[in-house]
Amino acid sequence: MELSKDNVVLENLELTIKQLGYKLKDPDIVETIVMEDISKFDIEDIEYYHSWSGYDLGNGLSGICCFIAELDEIYPDEGWDIIGHNYLLKIKEKMESSGVSSLSLWGGFTGICFAALALSKGETRYQNFINQLHQIILEKIPIETERCRNKIELGVEMTDYDVIGGLAGIGRYLLYYQNNKDMNELLKDVLRYLIKLTEKKEVNGVKVPGWYIPSENQFLPIEKVKFPNGNFNVGFAHGISGCLALLSIAKLKGYVLKDQDKAISTLANWLSFWSQTDEFGPLWPRRISWEEYFSNKADSKATVYEAWCYGEAGIARSLWLAGRSLKNLKWMNLASNTFNGMYKRNIRNYTLISPTYCHGIAGTLHSVQLMLKDQPTKNLLIYKNFLLNKLLKHIDLDTSFGIKDIEEIKGKKYKFNKPGLLNGSAGVAMVLLRELNKKDIEWDSVFLVK
């Protein structure tokens, strides 16, 4: 299905993407710009909104590597591999100077693995570095998986299982090593943990799903106020939708574990049950309270939120993957109706303020691109062009990275110079690369939507 030039102008898109790449070509300059930008803001808890570790996949150098790897694949004679090499050297320097405390995909060792694999040109480069990283995760992931498994009965935290900090995100990397016996066993262990997470457990004398988060384990202080008896996280980045996505992708890639189909069905049916509907289509609350769970009824209406992290885009995409994995038309139709509702709703009133991936336009656009590939419709094409136009209007090549993340903090909007994959220019550029249709990009798999 071809893009309509009447709806969106793409004459300079390829040049724009390369210019975004050029702004990221020197990791030292990138780091300097970010650190200077952070120092400009006198905001309480600035690290929550704008931070820099250097090596991480979410906001740091590893995520940029995934974008650079795609540029090198499309333009193999333009030196992007050299830029990628310099990035890996900088990442190694950061690891040696400050250490890496997390195993996670978006903030730890697994994200660095993803960066090195992306730049490895089909595992022909950086094998010593990758093997060193693999030795670490082969040693530590079994310990982490066992720790998380033991916590199911005691009470989980979202970072035990989620896409950003937990085992669901780690599992997506392990899927690249199905033919490696040791890595394959790690993945199976992660999947078994997620399957167990979907089983009921007893809390205060009653049965609840294993992913219930007790009050004391909730991540944000405001959650403890709003959900004094704990909650069930619905979202993709930090909730159960991301777990559904990994279980479904694994199934589509040939994994068949005991009770895996049952776990997929449990999660997909649970998400289906908690969907609400406005005049345009399905919506979801971000969390379900203990009280709502036992009354089988939401206390308030879900608010519109089209984003990947907690909104309709991520949740619906997970249902689509689940439907494909088990050939369940009910879930696929719910996902399709959600994207159609997003289109009808957004054409009238678009609410996301940031262009970036996690909670902005790029993340929504990416899911629509993938849905359009899986199920091409006129409405999805129009919606994609609409989002693309919105995204392109945010690009300003006179700024440090060509695009800024926008956050609303205590009623005031702030614009931050961020270069990364999750909340910065690399993520936006990665999504724009899909529009060139030169090659089907690979490393957007890191978002667990494919």
Whether the per-residue pLDDT at 10 is higher than 70: the answer is no
- The token pair at 176 is 């690249």
- The token pair at 106 is 């978006």
Whether the per-residue pLDDT at 8 is higher than 50: the answer is no
Q: What is the pLDDT of residue 66?
A: 98
Phi, psi for residue 406 in degrees, rounded to 5: -115, 125
Q: What is the pLDDT of residue 439?
A: 77
Tell me if 69 sits within 8 A of 84, measured CB to CB. yes
Q: Which residues contact 57 (CB under 8 A, 6 or more apart)?
A: 63, 66, 105, 106, 107, 110, 111, 112, 114, 115, 421, 422, 446
Give the global pTM. Answer: 0.96
Q: What is the pLDDT of residue 5?
A: 41
Q: What angle do CA 70, 175, 287 make, to 5 degrees?
A: 95
Compute the mean pLDDT over every residue in the chain, rounded to the nearest whole number. 95
* Tens-digit pLDDT profile for residues 221-257: 999 999 999 999 999 999 999 999 999 999 999 999 9
Q: Is 331 exposed, middle or buried (0-12, 13-18, 19+ CB in 10 A)?
A: buried
* Tens-digit pLDDT profile for residues 33-80: 999 999 999 999 899 999 999 999 999 999 999 999 999 999 999 999
To 10 degrees, the CA torsion angle through 283, 289, 290, 294?
A: -30
What is the pLDDT confidence band of residue 177, given thresholds at 50, 70 and 90? very high
Average pLDDT over residues 13-33: 97
Q: What is the pLDDT of residue 169?
A: 98
Q: What is the pLDDT of residue 1?
A: 34
CA distance 299 to 303: 12
The rounded Cα 236 to chain-centroid distance in angstroms is: 7
Q: CA distances (Å), 114 to each of 129, 244, 367, in order?
A: 12, 21, 21
What is the pLDDT confidence band of residue 356, given thresholds at 50, 70 and 90? very high
Q: 92-111 b/e with 16+ CB inside 10 Å = b?
A: eebeeeeebebbbbbbbbbb
Q: What is the pLDDT of residue 11?
A: 62
Q: What is the pLDDT of residue 9?
A: 47
CA distance 390 to 301: 27
CA distance 107 to 115: 12
CA distance 41 to 37: 7
Average pLDDT over residues 434-448: 91
Q: Which residues contact 243 (CB under 8 A, 6 or more apart)?
A: 161, 162, 168, 194, 197, 198, 211, 267
* Tens-digit pLDDT profile for residues 383-405: 999 999 999 999 999 999 999 99
Whether the per-residue pLDDT at 7 is higher than 50: the answer is no
- The token pair at 70 is 């795609």
Provide the terminal-to-terminal Cα distance of the chain, rounded to the nearest Å: 20
Phi, psi for residue 176 in degrees, rounded to 5: -75, -5
Q: What is the pLDDT of residue 438?
A: 74
Whether the per-residue pLDDT at 300 is higher than 90: the answer is no
Q: CA distances (Å), 128 to each of 132, 211, 258, 412, 443, in order?
A: 6, 38, 35, 47, 21
CA distance 356 to 5: 24
CA distance 405 to 420: 10
| Of 363, 435, 314, the residue nearest 70 (C-alpha) | 435
Fill in the DSSP letter of residue 52.
Answer: -
CA distance 141 to 189: 9
DSSP 216-250: GG-SSHHHHHH-TT-EEE--SSSSHHHHHHHHHHH
Average pLDDT over residues 147-170: 97
Q: What is the pLDDT of residue 6?
A: 37
Q: Is the dihedral of CA 143, 148, 154, 158 positive or negative?
A: positive
| Of 115, 132, 110, the residue nearest 190 (C-alpha) | 110
Q: Which residues contact 18 (CB under 8 A, 6 or more apart)?
A: 71, 75
Q: What is the pLDDT of residue 381?
A: 97
